[in-house]
Structure 1
């Protein structure tokens, strides 16, 4: 039996590989396919390797299968078990609904699940998905408990910090790196800032543990890390899922597990506390940046951020200036990127507003009302073409049954007609969604109108009208608009 099927396999870790290897999953799926009369196709295998089943958007193979389902390029997907499909209940149900909505049959061999035999109110699939999700949470809790037991025994878990090596699970001081750590703390306690320390380390060609150059954030984290005075903190961070992707967030301090004197310190506790003493000084306020996320460095693609400087005037007053700097340069100076020609936030904001206002004068929105009539005419034409193709298919079948053409020619011509009908269906769907275009144009029209009030926060206006703003080192600016010409 021939069928446009796909075999989906997934393993997330080496531990997972031991229990349910890729080869094991493929063999199980192949056995089921051949026993049910399907021809085995090696090219039908789709693998997600080393990716957690709780991460939906970061699994390229499953995303590709969903796209193929939407394009009607397959009619069945086979996998060993629902836990291979997903370990998150919401994702599992969303994947199933997408497949079923596009008439793709789902086969889960381990559970004996077949979507063709199950009804729409299929609680069995939901229960198995729930068990798979619960297993993932139980496994996570077990791993956390095991890590805590290791740390209580004095072992180290996680990344090896600069200044240490790990031998048989325990931290051991790396004497060469420890000298650098002590020097960094000395510099900081003598009044050096993070940036000055970073520049000095890079100029001395001292290499960090896992990167080629030091960055300001690396130095800051080192000084704030209690591991250097012998303490270890477990459960400081939690990984959550946002929009199908993992995101690390910091837990509140009451959830931290702090192990005092866990290993040999590099600096004294007194030094660490002195370096991390919270000074009660005024916090500098940063100007509100309504270009955030839009304005980028042309050299490295990093965000441009606002830095503040202050100048004392002759009358004794202080004047604050807000400049834009490449965030990579700000973190690591020349090791990160280049220093841009000084340009103030106010100047670049005013320039962008003037450019948008000028652009807005040449744009016509009058054709919006004509869209609906054009849409009706186009849909009528497409419906007529579709009806003609249906007639051609009937005529083609008659010619074949009268044995005027062979089977191969019949299938070829029928496939051509089917392909053209699919294209028409896509066009019809697109036309039915044309309201989005009208809404988009109205949003743009409103955004241009909002530019007249320059004093308000224009973040949403800029996001509507601009794809990106690129700032070059010499201060020149390139604007990429989210609209085209005069919409005609």
Structure 2
């Protein structure tokens, strides 16, 4: 007991750092429950270190990036704010639970560290026992642990892939939701016969009856309405995309393909790419097959797919046209009509994508609307707005941003004025005591820093605001209607809702 009393006595003798400007940074890569609890863990570990080392705990010092991957630094607002505070010399120390919370990319980790150290900010990572105050700038410890942190996701990916391959070799299902037509029993896939019959029906209609994805979908929905077959999981009707997924999945032929895709970092963002076939891990006969390999090969040969594929017409309004009935995208369908002289009349018209995938089971059939007519109507309405609306008029989002910026700047100036008056009350008029002065000054400084932080974050959110200059350029670009206007439409239009009888409701980006 004497030992514990001596330790406590030594702890009590530590002089706390009062008003020492530090920040605690935490990050989780997903919103899963186990990751959410990790945030509490990170804060608790950092708080424990701070208190043991004589720092006064300040809960307002915690900055978090939730659901942000450590392999990319883009979109990490909390980290951006920390670096900005470091540049302004507003902080003296940043505490991390571990280097992996700082970043899992070696380049980003070293860059963040150098930016902080160049601003004379002390960097502490608790798990690695790294403290720049004692290690100095020319240390290898930080670089070594950063390399380990960067390698961890890659090693984990390799381990997971190896575990999946091992499961497949043992005939076990590797995890996740089993494909339609299968159930999991004792870690193995077994055939669910009522669903398997539908899978066989799909391949028969596609391979032997010569039907395309859309017609197969209609046949299945008709059979489903009569009660002849069971429906898809978690949905009340069949859709074209579901049929495509089933036909292209080799698991129905008893084949499992692993390592088909990988993730790479491009310009600071993760991107999934397809590996060359030489890197694929292919396993045969690891679970019961619903169809033969020959049937699957026939459905997925290039000649069959090419014969059934239609090229989607170009749609400059893609992503903007929405069905007013179900909210799905309106897509462009191509159609031809043969004339007596052998020539064909061609036109493109709009169709609800849900109706296109599922027929009457998906949505309603809109009145025929030619795409070119819609395009011309939209251009005319935009040109009219361009005439009526002064080009120097700020759009609603910009006005809102400017108002917020103005209010924050006004508040900052007001707080600075308040601070000046406080100094006068203390030094010149001597109406308040030194203790009162220090308390009120700390409150004003805290409010000022908070407002400045909000102003910084607001000004850094450029990607969320519409640039009025882009709107000006977009209106000018409308004069050349022969060009591809997709980016122009995206700049000027939020959404175009298309009614069943063809009426349009356009929501613009430059209007409240």
TM-score range, shorter chain: 0.7 to 0.9
Instruction: Note if contact 1:12-1:49 (Cα within 8 Å) is conserved in structure 2.
Output: yes
Partner Cα distance (1:136, 1:432) in 2: 29
Change (3 A) 1:88 1:315: same
Partner Cα distance (2:446, 2:326) in 1: 47
Does residue 214 (structure 1) correspond to residue 238 (structure 2)? The answer is: yes
Shift of 1:263: 2.2
Change (3 A) 1:431 1:207: closer
3-state DSSP of counterpart to 2:49 = helix
Shift of 1:35: 0.6
Does residue 288 (structure 1) correspond to residue 288 (structure 2)? The answer is: no
3-state DSSP of counterpart to 2:95 = strand
Q: What is the aligned counterpart of 1:201 among 220, 231, 246?
A: 220
Shift of 1:222: 0.9
Change (3 A) 1:236 1:333: farther
Q: In the alignment, which residue of structure 2 is the partner of 1:176?
A: 194
Shift of 1:469: 2.9
Instruction: Note if contact 2:214-2:358 (Cα within 8 Å) is conserved in structure 1.
Output: yes
1:293-442 matches, cutoff 5 A: 293-365=319-391, 393-401=419-427, 403-406=430-433, 407-408=435-436, 411-412=439-440, 415-416=443-444, 419=447, 440-442=467-469
Instruction: Note if contact 1:87-1:133 (Cα within 8 Å) is conserved in structure 2.
Output: yes
Q: In the alignment, which residue of structure 2 is the partner of 1:261?
A: 285
Does residue 273 (structure 1) correspond to residue 297 (structure 2)? The answer is: yes
Shift of 1:353: 0.9
Q: In the alignment, which residue of structure 2 is the partner of 1:378?
A: none
Does residue 229 (structure 1) correspond to residue 253 (structure 2)? The answer is: yes
String of CA shifts for 1:242-272, please: whole Å, max 9, x gaps: 6666544333333222222232211223332
Change (3 A) 1:285 1:147: closer
Instruction: Note if contact 1:11-1:21 (Cα within 8 Å) is conserved in structure 2.
Output: no
Gaps of 5+ in 1: 369-381
Instruction: Note if contact 2:262-2:272 (Cα within 8 Å) is conserved in structure 1.
Output: yes
Shift of 1:216: 0.9
3-state DSSP of counterpart to 2:337 = strand
Shift of 1:32: 0.3
Shift of 1:312: 1.8
Q: In the alignment, which residue of structure 2 is the partner of 1:137?
A: 154
Q: In the alignment, which residue of structure 2 is the partner of 1:155?
A: 172
Q: TM-score, normalised by structure 2?
A: 0.73
CA RMSD of aligned residues (A): 4.7
- Number of equivalent positions: 464
Change (3 A) 1:134 1:423: closer
Q: What is the aligned counterpart of 1:461 among 485, 488, 500?
A: 488
Partner Cα distance (1:242, 1:472) in 2: 40
Instruction: Note if contact 1:326-1:340 (Cα within 8 Å) is conserved in structure 2.
Output: yes
Change (3 A) 1:383 1:364: closer
Shift of 1:309: 1.7
Shift of 1:331: 2.9
Partner Cα distance (2:112, 2:128) in 1: 17
Q: In the alignment, which residue of structure 2 is the partner of 1:37?
A: 54
3-state DSSP of counterpart to 1:161 = coil
Shift of 1:348: 0.9
3-state DSSP of counterpart to 1:264 = coil
3-state DSSP of counterpart to 1:475 = coil
Q: In the alignment, which residue of structure 1 is the partner of 2:476?
A: 449
Partner Cα distance (2:204, 2:95) in 1: 61
Partner Cα distance (2:413, 2:255) in 1: 76
**Higher mean C-alpha deviation, range 42-51 or range 130-139:** 42-51
Partner Cα distance (1:147, 1:432) in 2: 42
Shift of 1:109: 0.9
Instruction: Note if contact 2:322-2:330 (Cα within 8 Å) is conserved in structure 1.
Output: yes
Instruction: Note if contact 2:255-2:285 (Cα within 8 Å) is conserved in structure 1.
Output: yes
3-state DSSP of counterpart to 2:232 = coil
